[in-house]
Chain A
Amino acid sequence: DGGITQSPKYLFRKEGQNVTLSCEQNLNHDAMYWYRQDPGQGLRLIYYSQIVNDFQKGDIAEGYSVSREKKESFPLTVTSAQKNPTAFYLCASSIPRELHNEQFFGPGTRLTVL
């Protein structure tokens, strides 16, 4: 089945540690995205990538880093510079400039900083 997978589903980290969230897609989509969602809020864009080896900052990129070495993979690293990292993280992919510009989302990773 085609889709987007994120791992792990739940992640705990100690304050001051870096942590990497995985996102893999087998939809053959060029574009991938990372969002953060806080309780009762909408999604906010962290980073996005429209093609391999290229990515752009979203609205809240500070304290995060990404890489896009393969079309299928877009890992997100939450660094110790992110002051309030506890949140629900969602990865998505899409076909750029496709008719509906529909983004397909993964199941999410819930990160808790202890």
Chain B
Amino acid sequence: QVQLQESGPGLVKSSETLSLTCTVSGGSISTYYWSWIRQSPGKGLQWIGYHYYNGNTKYNPSLESRVTISVDTSKNQVSLQLTSVTAADTAVYYCARDREHTYGKAQGFWGQGTLVTVSS
């Protein structure tokens, strides 16, 4: 059974870059879509973007200018970088993998999430 584990700093200063890593175990990174999704405290879910193993990426237009999602197949890791963060970027960040045959459109596996707080 595939498992996802997010890691990274829990506190980031305003205007700096948020960097998170998702380590995948129990399965390969290849042939799947890997998404980052966030949830602000007490609020709903926002998709940040996805990376397909062949290098294709797609991002939420509202975040596209600040986001990079990449994959390291040698380490079985998916990474997220979000630049120029503000307090509005404070959220629980989830790594997710799509369900088979949904082409990134439904997330069948999720990490436990990691809380990132942006401080001034």
Partners in one complex: no
Interface residues of A (CB under 8 A from B): none
Chain B residues in the interface with A (C-beta under 8 A): none
